[in-house]
Amino acid sequence: MSARSYIVDDREKKTFLLDREVLVSDEVLRREMAQIFGRCWIYVGHASELKKPGDFRSRKVAGRPVIFCRDQGGQFHCLFNTCRHRGAIVCTEREGNRRRFQCIYHGWTYGNDGRLVGVPGDDAYAESFDKSSYGLRRPARFEDYRGFWFMCLDQNAPALVDYLAGAKDYIDLVIDQSPSGRMEIIAGVQEYDVAANWKLMVENSVDDYHLPSTHSTWLNFMANSGVKIEPPKEEGLVLPTRGKAVELGNGHFTTDNVNFRGRPVAKWIPLYGEAAKAEIDDIRKELVARLGAERAQRVADTNRNLVVFPNLVINDGSSVTVRTFYPEGAGKMHVTAWALGPVEEGDSARARRLDAFLTFYGPGGFATPDDVEALELVQQGLANWAEDRWSEMSRGMGKEGEQLNSDEHHLRIFWRRWNELMGAQA
């Protein structure tokens, strides 16, 4: 079905406009559920969250309560957390280790592989009642790329590795921080709502144009902590160092920036303290020995905010965050964020990573609350959408060649893909 286009993408006039209706409309949201979240690969969780057979986490993914778990043989599963009998949630705990999930209502019991293993009083059912066909339902597809597990509700979707396209290279860059190639989700989850449309979080996660105005207090904090924040030397830059926006295929994109803000792996800044210097040197040496000088530099001296379309963000910046979000109405989203680190990380390096995370990210960080404020102000302003209909997103279109992180090229990539999936004739 073709729908009208929500974007004006005029490459001759070098103008890109977005119809603000897509940020406020319940009807658009309803169609997104089918055409975006019903067809794309959606992040479920990370392998490191389930260390042993029987480990489980219950959570909502794309609005669906699921159990992300491992069976007795260690296989990973994503099960809909809904009893096949009358529909109740069967796993009420947030996390743990269980062989069985028992519904409290009538006692139907499922194995941690989803099979129905117990029905109280099952002699009351007819011969035709076949327990083996009453296992917990599961998404049509469930696949992982190097420990990042995704589900897809569309049986006919391409394989996850093909879907991820160029995003794989940027996930690899994150994983290369670990000597054994194993990263882990660190304990402690941040879950918060933002009173704004979910797509605004996609934009905000990669939009480096906003940094000086939205985050001046963070830049002050960095300067107060001895980190040199010099005004950009090159024409066109808004940040101290150069960064670009990169298209990765299938609606994925990333920023790719020369680091100025320090990195736990492995770029010392005064904020970390003198005592950390030696350890960060060692981390750097290990990187160089394992990856070679060039790749080590790539891993340690660049920071990258990656969007896996539609709603997974991996920020490999002051720390590594894994962040996903889902609409709870056109003007509201729920955000879940974790910290990611190498499994080998020592105690002091781990503490430094978490501290670095909190300098910028999260509901108590020195930057995220101001991002949230910006998005909520957008949503409030959009109450005028019918009278003031178009958002301006042409930044960078006027020039040839490389697009900067502070241009809006990568935002346009998102919106073009979104528009296409929504069935529009662009």
Q: Which residues of the shown chain bind other proteins in the complex (CB under 8 A)?
A: 94, 186-195, 214, 216-218, 220-221, 224-225, 334, 338-339, 347, 350-351, 354-355, 357-358, 362-364, 366, 368-370, 372-374, 380
CB 183 within 8 A of CB 341: yes
Tokens of 288: 């160089």
> C-beta of 358: minimal distance to other proteins in Å?
6
CB 222 within 8 A of CB 266: no
DSSP string for residues in 114-172: S-EEE-TTGGGS-TT--GGG-SPP--SEEEEETTEEEEES-TTSPPHHHHHTTHHHHHH
User: Measured from the CB atom, is 292 or 381 closer to other proteins?
Assistant: 381
The C-alpha atoms of residue 290 and residue 288 are separated, in whole angstroms, by: 5
> C-beta of 404: minimal distance to other proteins in Å?
23
User: Measured from the CB atom, is 87 or 363 closer to other proteins?
Assistant: 363
The C-alpha atoms of residue 150 and residue 45 are separated, in whole angstroms, by: 7
- The residue type at 381: G
> C-beta of 127: minimal distance to other proteins in Å?
44
User: Measured from the CB atom, is 172 or 388 closer to other proteins?
Assistant: 388
User: Measured from the CB atom, is 158 or 212 closer to other proteins?
Assistant: 212
User: Measured from the CB atom, is 247 or 316 closer to other proteins?
Assistant: 316
> C-beta of 18: minimal distance to other proteins in Å?
23
The closest alpha carbon to 312, from 406, 421, 201, belongs to: 201
> C-beta of 351: minimal distance to other proteins in Å?
4
User: Measured from the CB atom, is 309 or 357 closer to other proteins?
Assistant: 357
> C-beta of 155: minimal distance to other proteins in Å?
32
Q: Count the neighbouring beta carbons within 10 Å of the beta carbon of residue 422.
A: 20
User: Measured from the CB atom, is 23 or 367 closer to other proteins?
Assistant: 367
Count CA within 13 A, CB hemisphere, residue 245: 27
Q: Count the neighbouring beta carbons within 10 Å of the beta carbon of residue 40.
A: 23
* Strand, helix or coil for residue 69: strand
Residue given tokens 């990370």 in the structure block: 46
User: Measured from the CB atom, is 42 or 374 closer to other proteins?
Assistant: 374
> C-beta of 343: minimal distance to other proteins in Å?
13
The closest alpha carbon to 393, from 196, 200, 243, belongs to: 200
> C-beta of 329: minimal distance to other proteins in Å?
12
User: Measured from the CB atom, is 134 or 221 closer to other proteins?
Assistant: 221
Three state DSSP letters for 248-310: EECCEEEEEEECCCCECCCECCHHHCHHHHHHHHHHHHHHHHHHCHHHHHHHHCEEEEEEECC
CB 154 within 8 A of CB 142: no
Helix 293-300, helix 277-291: angle, nearest 10:
130
> C-beta of 228: minimal distance to other proteins in Å?
17
